[in-house]
Amino acid sequence: MTRNCRRRKASGSGLLALVAAISLLITLGGLLTLLLVCSGCGMIFQEQLERVNRLASSFASAHAQDSNVQGETESFVKDLMPQMGMAPLNLSVMVTSTQAQNGPSLRVTLTNQFPLAISHSVLPDHVTVSDSQTAGQL
């Protein structure tokens, strides 16, 4: 009788450990899936911002002789982003002169925050993406 009682206690604790392990695996699997989805969103946002910045650097290069190229480029980017399906959230546009191999050129640096589709207490609710492009000769 004592042997059967010991077996039941041992098998009950084994079942409890199995349930705990499965619960832990499911939780970790869910968190890894969220991380994978958010990483994919970040890559897509980076690609979209790169496209906008390529156009912005071409715009800045074409208007390099204007007195307010910084303001004009920022206005161009703010108008362009909604047309490309993006919202300018905490948008930062910096236009600086730089020296390239072919001579002086302009570097446009964009920084924007993008909201993540999945919100979770462990993951952030937004991602900040930045991109720099150099275009044209002055």
For the chain (138 residues), the mean pLDDT of every run of 10, in chain order, is 56 80 92 82 88 92 87 93 90 88 86 80 79 78
In a domain, 8, yes or no: no
- What is the tally of structural domains in the chain? 1
In a domain, 9, yes or no: no
Which residues, in sequence order, are CB contacts of 44 under 8 Å at separation 6+? Answer: none
In a domain, 77, yes or no: yes
- At residue 10, the pLDDT reads 55
- At residue 2, the pLDDT reads 58
In a domain, 1, yes or no: no
In a domain, 69, yes or no: yes
Domain of residue 75: give its range. Answer: 41-135
In a domain, 95, yes or no: yes
* Strand order, beta sheet including 126-135: 89-100, 103-115, 126-135
Q: pTM for the complete prediction?
A: 0.72
Tell the burial category of 12 from Cβ atoms under 10 Å away from its Cβ (0-12, 13-18, 19+).
exposed
In a domain, 5, yes or no: no
In a domain, 14, yes or no: no
